[in-house]
Structure 1
Amino acid sequence: MHVCCNAEDNQYLVRVNPTLEFIITSTDIAATGAAATLLIFNNEKGFSRQNIESICSVGQSTKKGNRSSGYIGEKGIGFKSVFLVTAQPYIFSNGYQISFNENPCPQCSLGYIVPEWVEEKPTRLLDIKQIYGKDSLPTTTLVLPLKADKINSVKQQLSSIHPEILSFLSKIRDFSVREDNEDPKMESVTTVSISSEINSAAKKNLNAESYTIHLSAGENGNDEKVCSYYM
C-alpha cells in the first residue's frame, strides 16, 4: 500500500498512462541467495540526482512539503521502509544503477544510506527483461530480494489488494500483480485498469463535475469484469 501511495505521488510525462506493476519471482536476480524477489515497475519520470542524495541522507525527503511531486518509494525516510522486507534493495532508474545494504559498509561502518554502484547491470537487466516479458523496461525498476520470513506476508499483501483501490487514486490508471513461477501452470496474474467519463452538470445553479468511473479487472487470463461507479 505504501508503494501504491508513493507511485500515485510521482510525476509522469504528458501522454504517459501511469502504470504500477508488481512481479514476485523465485529467480534470484541479485544473486543474494533470496528464495524470492519482488520486482516493482513504474513508468514515472524517474530518479534525479536530488532524489539519490535524499535517499543517502538522514531525515530528508524530496517529498517534504510537496506531496504532489514525489517519486516511487518516497526519496528519503519513506524509501527506507523497504528494509522491512529486504536487506538489499536495488534501484535502476534514469541511468542510476545502485543498491543499498542494511549491513554496515566495511569502509564507513554505515548501513542503509551508503549506495553501491551495480556493475553487473547488463546481465541483471537481461534477467529482469526476460521476466518482465518485454525488450524495454519502465523508467524505474526496484529489485527487492525478499527476506525469508517476509515472503509469505508480501505475497499475502499483494493478493489482498482490492481492485477498487484505483478509484481512490487520481494518477495511476493501470495496476498489475503477477507471480512468476518456473511452472507456468502455477503462475497467477491480476490486472486492473480504470477509465473515467467526465460530464458537467448544473444543479441548484451550481456547476459541478460528475464522474462515471469504469473499473476493469481480470485474473489469470479470464474475461475482464467491468464495474461502473458514479462519482
Structure 2
Amino acid sequence: LGRALHRLSLDLYSRDTHFVLELVQNADDNAYAAAAVPTLSFVIDDGGIVCLNNEEGFTEQNVRALCDVGHSTKAETSGYIGQKGIGFKSVFRVTDCPAIHSGGYHFQFDASQGNMGYIVPHWLDGPHSLISDDRLRQLPQSELIRGLLRDGTCIALPFKRAFDTAALLRNFHEVHESLLLFLNRLQRL
C-alpha cells in the first residue's frame, strides 16, 4: 500500500511545486471562524517550508483522512474544491517528514522509515519551534505569522534533499494573486 501510494503521488504530481496548489486548495476548503479573514502564509528558508493557516483546526476525522488513501472529508460535501483524498500526499515531492500541528493534534509522517511512512503517523509531544524567534523578527508581517503559529494550523515541510530555494521561490511567485478570484473561502495568501 505504501509503495503504491508513493508511486501514485510521483505520477500524479510530477512537478516539485504542485504541492503548493494542493495546500492552497486545502486551505480554501478549510473551516474558518465567522470573524476570521481566511489566511494562508508560507515561510520558506534553506531548510524547508512552514505553511500557516488560520483555520478552526483539525478534527479526528481530518487526521484519519490524512492517514488514508482515497478517503476525504470533502467528498460528500458540496462547496469544496478537493475531494480525491490524495492531494496532501503531494508534499512528499519535497519532504520525507511533513509535520502537522493543528487542533491539538501533533504528528508527522516519515517516508524514510519505509513505504508505510506515507500513511502511518508518528505522534509528537507538542508543537516544536517551527520558526526561530530571530527568523520571525526578520519576516514581514511577523505579528500575523506569530498569531498563526500560536492559534492556527502549521504544516512543516523540511526539505528532503539539497533544494534550489531560489527556484522554489520563483515557483511560489508564479502562484498568481488572481488565483484568489477562483477560491471560495481563502482571502489572503
Q: Give the 5 Å matches for 1:1-231.
A: 1-26=21-46, 36-68=47-79, 76-104=85-113, 110-119=116-125, 121=127, 123-125=128-130, 127=132, 131=136, 133-134=142-143, 135-136=146-147, 137=149, 138-148=151-161, 150-152=163-165, 153-175=167-189
Q: CA, structure 1 residues 140+7, in 2 after alignment: closer, same or farther (shift >3 Å)?
A: same
Counting aligned pairs with the same residue, the percent is 36
Q: In 2, Cα distance between the equivalents of 1:66 and 1:78?
A: 17
Q: In 1, Cα distance between the equivalents of 2:85 and 2:61?
A: 10
1:149, distance to aligned residue in structure 2 (A):
5.3
Question: Which structure carries more strand by proportion?
Answer: 1
Supply the AA of the counterpart residue of 2:68. S
Number of positions where the alignment pairs a residue of Structure 1 with one of Structure 2 = 160
Q: In 2, Cα distance between the equivalents of 1:125 and 1:10?
A: 22
Residues 19-54 of structure 1, C-alpha deviation per residue, up to 9 Å, x if partnerless? 11111023xxxxxxxxx2101111111110011111
Q: CA, structure 1 residues 40+68, in 2 after alignment: closer, same or farther (shift >3 Å)?
A: same
Structure 1 consecutive aligned stretches of length 4 or more whose deviation exceeds 6 Å: none
Secondary structure class of the residue paired with 1:21: strand
- Structure 1 residue runs of 5 or longer lacking an equivalent are 27-35, 176-231
Secondary structure class of the residue paired with 2:157: strand
1:24–1:37 Cα contact (<8 Å) kept: yes
- Structure 2 residue runs of 5 or longer lacking an equivalent are 1-20
Q: In 2, Cα distance between the equivalents of 1:97 and 1:75?
A: 24
Q: CA RMSD in A?
A: 2.8
Counterpart in the other structure of 1:29: none
Secondary structure class of the residue paired with 1:97: strand
Question: Which structure carries more helix by proportion?
Answer: 2
Secondary structure class of the residue paired with 1:124: coil
Q: In 1, Cα distance between the equivalents of 2:113 and 2:50?
A: 24
1:86–1:144 Cα contact (<8 Å) kept: yes
TM-score, normalising length from structure 1? 0.60
Supply the AA of the counterpart residue of 1:140. T
Supply the AA of the counterpart residue of 2:26. N
Supply the AA of the counterpart residue of 1:148. R
2:50–2:155 Cα contact (<8 Å) kept: yes
